[in-house]
Amino acid sequence: MSQAQEAGAIIKDAVDSRMSGTGSNIELKKENPTDLVTETDKAVEEFIKERLFNTYPDHKFIGEETFAGGAKTEFTHHPTWIVDPIDGTTNFIHGYPFVAVSIGFTLNKIPTIGVVFNPLLNELYSAAKGKGAYLNKTRKLPLFNPPQPLIDLSHCLIATEAGSDRSKLVIDAKVAAIHDMLRKKTPETPFAAESHSIRTTGSAALNLCNVAKGIVDVYWEVGCWEWDVAAGMVIVEESGGIVLEGHNDKQDIETANIFCRKYLAIRAALDRSSQLHIASQMRDLIPTIDAPRAPVPGGYNA
């Protein structure tokens, strides 16, 4: 059993015991009431951290709860594990089965390994740079082989999230973007995408895995963090997808930096130009939204 699966077993036990009335899962207070954390988030992160340090004492560690506990994020060329113990904490609290352990690994600042495990659906996603992406170790991603053509945003299923910044400015901008993703195209609204629909799982890591599977075409989110995406980005790229920065500068077609807090992932297709075409159509709809972060010592770039 992989470390992600062992950590997942702790999460599944916590959900099962709460559902059967035998367990408690105290929601801990955070400054932001929509950015939830539980004792299980902390316990699972400690479990993973201890296991990693026992095996790789020289490696560096960035984790959601370690950061929340006041640790400074430092990003270096050293081997670094980037961990979200429970991505989808809100789902975990509600028993909504899109919950994942997310373990990413960077070497020389390059995202190199990604493992995402959903213990409630028993789905393990894994990828290593240059080695492909897999579901439950054997099923190569994407699930569609060959990938379906990517023609136009109007044919796409788009994943996005409310996120935890519920300020009026941010929510108005996100709702306006979703409105344009869904709205009927008319001569008066040529910018409207009239896409197939939108989906929201409540887990950035699982949204990326759904892009890697090819069951959603596009995922756009502003406001999540490196631990939400470090593993999923490797899985998307190894499935043949791309992850760009989720802003509206159409000229920027570089792979997103894991620290950028704005992500636009497009699933595998037969050619990169069709992926970039969809990215460009999305960027016609993406509003300018600020997602600030303190500078990271060591810098973001490889």
170 to 209, contacts with ligand IPD by CB under 6 A? 202-204
Question: Smallest gap, in angstroms, from Cβ of residue 79 to ligand IPD?
Answer: 23
78: phi then psi, degrees, rounded to nearest 5: -65, 155
Q: How far apart are CA 176 and CA 200, in angstroms?
A: 16
**84 lies in the site for ligand IPD, by CB under 6 A:** yes
Q: Which of 223, 232, 241, 246 binds ligand IPD (CB under 6 A)?
A: 223
Find the shortest distance in angstroms from Cβ 84 to ligand IPD: 5
Instruction: Please tell me whether 238 is known to bind a ligand.
Output: no
Site for ligand IPD in 33-72 (CB under 6 A): 64
Active-site residue set: 64, 84, 86-87, 89, 228
For ligand IPD, the closer of residues 84 and 238 by Cβ is 84
Please, which residue, 148 or 164, has the CB nearer to ligand IPD? 164
> Dihedrals φ, ψ of 287, to 5°?
-80, 165
Task: Identify the CA nearest to 92 among candidates 138, 152, 43.
Answer: 43
Stretch near ligand IPD under the rule CB under 6 A, chosen from 46-54, 81-89, 130-138, 184-192? 81-89
User: Residue 249 Cβ, how far from ligand IPD at the closest point, in Å?
Assistant: 21
Report d(CA 214, CA 117) in Å as an integer: 17
Identify whether the C-beta of residue 219 lies closer than 8 Å to the C-beta of residue 199.
no
Strand partners, 105: 81, 113
Binding residues for ligand IPD, how many (CB under 6 A)? 16
Q: Which of 38, 60, 103, 161 binds ligand IPD (CB under 6 A)?
A: 161
Residues 213/123, Cβ–Cβ less than 8 Å = no
Q: Which of 65, 87, 180, 237 binds ligand IPD (CB under 6 A)?
A: 87
Pick 43 or 107: Cβ nearer ligand IPD? 43
Task: Tell me the binding residues for Mg(2+).
Answer: 64, 84, 86-87, 228
Binding-site positions read 64, 84, 86-87, 228
Residues that bind ligand IPD (CB under 6 A): 64, 84, 86-89, 161, 163-164, 202-204, 221, 223-224, 228
